[in-house]
Chain A
């Protein structure tokens, strides 16, 4: 473990975040906090049916209610764009489906699917109007469960959907949108070399990102067709592109102003309300505000896929994994596009295995279209893998960390999905976990300990930033990624480090789409890495200019000036004998030396450093009620370099909390008619403060060579290990292996009374 943070002045420190004061005083403006004069309130009518043909919609009564200014249905939108897949969010998007998800056209495909919307002078009137819209539905058979949806006789969601990725091309439509396969080596030969082979089936439930801020926007349309969108999202440029496509307007006519965002975790990488608000605003000529209720958030946004997985792993007696196979089926919701790809690619990626076969299926069901959720797809496949690995360790009487270490991917390992890893810190996380006092602490009665690891690629992508040097020696950084967890701080720290000025002298702004170059959204743990690189490059651009100006004042060559500790210095004795010139002096003289000083960067950033983590979890189980309490938790992760360790730790802790919720209680409960029965926090059950212990973190720093400070994305990995860590801990406590999430009390109790499913060793 390297720790070189001492050599930096700002990187690795914990300064107060630039937006902090606004956020602790209530001053910060989130999506729903915007208020414009003359603003109307919009509301959405949502399908009460899981699957229904929309025969007709009668809006006359609603439209004639006093105070109602517009009513729209699917037919008021431009025809959906062609079904072309584009890289857009963390998972690709198909704009035809996006448009149909925003507003149903001929069919409602899930309970909660938008079928009409109104804009009125007050929320109460808008709600009354919604009740007056009459929809004639022909209710169709529906399918909620992923395995049921794959059966040949399952109700079909789309009669034009043919399974992609099989040859010959099928002639019958199917709910299986896609089949994909990743394979290396000879899987059968691999299993035949193994002394133990364990095959298990797992299921995971769809879980919601659970951000506390519901989706919200205010859209104002001008007479010449421009749209001003004020909303909270994970990417103002994403909102701009998606709205432009769905409403068929030119991108240059759309300006998106990013509000502060109250959590996203991937769930705000798409649009739900904005195009509808835009259409309502265009029709009424007034700003329209739309905010989802919590019920709508659960019924119509997110979640991530539920999955059915089959994992088979073989190992020799010494613990060498010889073969690994996975069959995965992920629910995509009502439209294709589950994170099955990353699910397939991540499943076995932490391990160096010669023979691997992974087959994945993307399956549509009558549920809301899934959205990205932290490390999309990876937790679902890695849950089963990490449980099976634990079982193998148990069977072979090998310490579970030692077994992982024996098979761990290292620098130079070629991953089965393609790339060869550069410097990675998986082994370092395992070592740190093993050394941690938690791992050897004694356990009490009814307690158990589990470990599990996780992998996520991390991503780079397009980022732009500007650095402006102000005449008083301060600097303004303009970037384009909504700050969900302190990224303004880490970007400002890097800018301060590069410029050599105090962090306090930097103000950083998350700009609207007209004020900064294109930025891919905040997601995939890319911002501190990729936008960090853009900020660094922009700052370096400003430094070149600062050096040039100093050279001008000194009347020497620009390349005879170097930038050290925030001041221009002659580079070497030959350059001349000048006193160092601080940034503030050069900035103050900029009017005489050529005008404003700034630097800009627009990059396509490559070289994201993969992230690995290893978690240790202790649980205590009440054997009479099946209740599982997490009593101690330690998360170890290779973070490359923690620019602001406080917010890095926070990413780990938050990911763990979400993972524990996924493991123990969170789930969508549908009734027999396909209606969501628990669309609220009360019965969806995210962890509350009293459900969790302190979450210890260990930041391992194996720098990513593709970033000046070694940054790796850190936000995705921590949600991957908890499900398996909890399951393995329960197994340690009870001798019972639970394979279906959530491991809620009824399931735990039932597994105990059934004597568990522990396979005799």
Chain B
């Protein structure tokens, strides 16, 4: 295995493209090193992207918030502006692993590892985040929900990697929330994850909503029926019940060591409902 730590996006693209798909990007390494240790990945080349300044930066402009793909969870959690605007995304990031894992784990790694249970992905999808992808043909943008196509599979082409996430500008009376279910309180992979983003009008009626679920299908799901269930309502019990049912109905999970189909379907509805309530409370006060 060879290791390279380029200082620029172009250099990284070049290294990746030359390796013809055999190289792996290294951000925090909290997935990649585990896979290498377990013999599941044997890349001849690892390209560490942490020395590329753009990937380590958080900035705000009129488009919204830019988060470098290799920014660590700990760095994001310490960023008051992001926290205030997108508490759900930050919560989801901070749920990844332990304090130690937080010291390294990145949004880019969480997305590109393409686990259906990745915690930040439902939160980013609910938030309507897009990612910026650099590659041999220059830059492109993609909605976060269009990156992973199945466990371990992404739409990234040879030589491409994610450089940045962009969160929309926060609108008034809008907020997001993310909840996940794990058997313990920490150090587990999500059995179900639910991210909700919504906007209320002055009367408290939901104007728009995005509901995303993790760990209940091969990829993170954007649940259209979930938003339909609550848009136009004031998130009363009936609307929440509809949301719960819609979330459960959208699930297409498997039985595995982390949970049963039945359990995931049922808990997905519960979490969607609870996350919506948190988002609502947040939206009411900002």
Residues in A whose Cβ lies below 8 Å from that of B257: 669, 677-678, 683
Instruction: Establish whether residues A625 and B186, one from each chain, have CB atoms under 8 Å apart when the complex forms.
Output: no
- Cβ contact within 8 Å between B189 and A691: no
Distance of B278 from chain A, by nearest CB (Å):
15
Nearest Cβ on chain B to A622's Cβ, whole angstroms: 9
A746 on interface, CB distance cutoff 8 Å: yes
- Residues 258-270 of chain B, each 1 if its beta carbon lies under 8 Å from chain A, else 0: 1110110011001
Number of interface residues of A (CB under 8 A): 24
**A756 interface residue, CB < 8 Å from B?**
no
Q: Which residue of A lies closest to B184 (CB)?
A: A691
Q: Is B183 an interface residue (CB 8 A)?
A: yes
Contact A688–B186 (Cβ < 8 Å) = yes
In the complex, the answer to whether A682 meets B188 with C-beta atoms within 8 Å is yes
Decide if A627 touches B183 in the complex (CB within 8 Å): yes
CB of A750 within 8 Å of the partner chain: yes
Asked if A688 and B184 make an inter-chain contact with CB atoms under 8 angstroms apart, the answer reads: yes
Given contact pairs A678-B257, A750-B262, A744 touches B185 in the complex (Cβ within 8 A): no
Residue contact B260 to A746, C-beta cutoff 8 Å: yes
Contact of A745 among B183, B185, B189 (CB under 8 A): B183
Q: In whole angstroms, what is the CA distance A688 to B186 when docked?
A: 7
Query: Quick check: is A690 within 8 A (CB to CB) of the other chain?
Result: yes
Q: Interface centre among B257, B259, B262, B270, by most A CB within 10 Å?
A: B257
Q: Is the CB of A682 within 8 A of B187?
A: yes
- If A678-B257, A749-B266 touch, whether A691 touches B185 (CB-CB below 8 Å) is yes
Q: Could you say which interface size class chain B belongs to?
A: 10 to 19
Partner of B189, one of A625, A682, A749, A750: A682
With the chains together, A627 CA to B185 CA distance in Å? 10
Quick check: is A141 within 8 A (CB to CB) of the other chain? no
- In the complex, what distance in Å separates the CA atom of A625 from the CA atom of B274? 12
* Choice from B184, B263, B267, B270 contacting A685 with Cβ under 8 Å: B184
Q: Counting CB contacts under 8 A, is A624 at the interface?
A: yes
Looking across the interface, which residue of chain A has its beta carbon closest to that of B244? A624
Query: Per-position contact with B for A495-528: 1 when CB-CB < 8 Å, else 0?
Result: 0000000000000000000000000000000000
> In the complex the two chains form, is B183's CB within 8 Å of A685's CB?
yes
The smallest beta-carbon distance between B105 and chain A, in angstroms, is 14
B267-A665 in contact (CB<8A):
no
Question: Shortest beta-carbon distance, A617 to chain B, in Å?
Answer: 17
Alpha-carbon separation in the docked complex, A608 to B186 (Å): 40
**What is the bound-complex CA distance between A750 and B263, given in angstroms?**
8
Cβ of A687 within 8 Å of any chain B Cβ, yes or no, is yes
Q: Residue among A295, A665, A681, A746 with the most chain B CB within 10 A?
A: A746
- 8 closest A-B pairs (Cβ-Cβ)? A746-B263, A690-B185, A624-B270, A669-B257, A677-B257, A678-B257, A690-B186, A665-B183
A274 shortest CB reach to chain B, Å: 25
Query: How far, in whole Å, are A452 and B38 apart by their CA atoms in the complex?
Result: 41
Which of B183, B189, B270 neighbours the largest number of chain A CB atoms within 10 Å of its CB?
A: B183
| Cβ 8 A contact of A683, one of B186, B258, B260 | B258
A positions within 8 Å CB-CB of B: 295, 624-627, 629, 664-665, 669, 677-678, 681-683, 685, 687-688, 690-691, 744-746, 749-750
Task: List CB contacts (< 8 Å) of B187-201 with chain A.
Answer: 187-189, 191
Whole-angstrom CA separation of A626 from B184 in the bound complex: 12
Residues of A within 8 A of B183 (CB): 627, 664-665, 685, 744-745
Assuming the A-B contacts A625-B270, A749-B266, are A688 and B189 also in contact, with contact meaning beta carbons closer than 8 angstroms in the complex? Answer: no
Q: Is the CB of A688 within 8 A of B187?
A: yes
List the B side residues contacting A745 at CB < 8 Å.
Answer: 181, 183, 191, 263, 267
Taking the closest CB of chain B, its distance from the CB of A343, in whole angstroms, is 27
Report whether B262 and A746 are in contact in the complex, using a CB–CB cutoff of 8 Å. Answer: yes
Q: B275 CB to closest chain A CB, in angstroms?
A: 13
Residue of B nearest to A684 (CB): B257
Q: How far is the CA of A438 from the CA of B172 in the complex (A)?
A: 48
Beta-carbon nearest neighbor of B181 in chain A = A625
Q: Which residues of A contact B185 (CB under 8 A)?
A: 629, 688, 690-691
- Rounded to whole angstroms, the CA-CA distance of A625 and B181 in the bound complex is 8
A756 to B189, CA, bound (A): 28
Measured between beta carbons, the chain B residues less than 8 angstroms from A682 are 187-189
- Do the beta carbons of B262 and A665 come within 8 Å of each other? no
Which chain A residue lies CB-closest to B187?
A: A688
Contact of A665 with B270 in the complex, beta carbons under 8 Å? no
Judging by beta carbons under 8 Å apart, are A685 and B181 in contact? Answer: no
A624 to B192, CA, bound (A): 13
**How distant is the Cα of A744 from the Cα of B258 in the complex, in angstroms?**
11
Question: A625 touching B184 by the CB < 8 A rule?
Answer: no
B window 215-242: CB within 8 A of A = none
Contacts of A625 in B (CB 8 A): 181, 267, 270
Q: Which residue in A677, A685, A749 is a CB contact (below 8 Å) of B188?
A: A685
Chain B residues within 8 Å of A690, by CB: 184-186
Convert B69-111 into 0s and 1s, putting 1 for each residue whose CB lies closer than 8 angstroms to a CB of A. 0000000000000000000000000000000000000000000
Residue-wise interface mask of B (173-187) relative to A, using a CB-CB cutoff of 8 A (1 in contact, 0 not): 000000001011111
**CA–CA, A295 to B185, complex, Å?**
23
User: A677 — which chain B residues lie within 8 A by C-beta?
Assistant: 257
- CB-contact partner of B184 in A624, A669, A687, A750, under 8 A: A687
A683→B258 CA distance, assembly (Å) = 7
Bound-state Cα–Cα, A676 to B56, Å: 39
Interface string of B15-59 (1 = CB under 8 A from A): 000000000000000000000001000000000000000000000
Apart from the given pairs A687-B184, A750-B262, 5 other A-B contacts in the complex at a CB distance below 8 Å: A624-B267, A685-B184, A690-B184, A745-B267, A750-B263
| 14 CB-based A-B contacts, threshold 8 Å | A625-B270, A665-B183, A665-B184, A682-B187, A682-B189, A685-B184, A687-B184, A688-B186, A690-B185, A691-B184, A744-B183, A746-B259, A746-B260, A750-B263
What residues on A are CB-neighbors of B267 within 8 Å?
Answer: 624-625, 745, 749
Complex alpha-carbon distance, A665 and B181, angstroms: 14
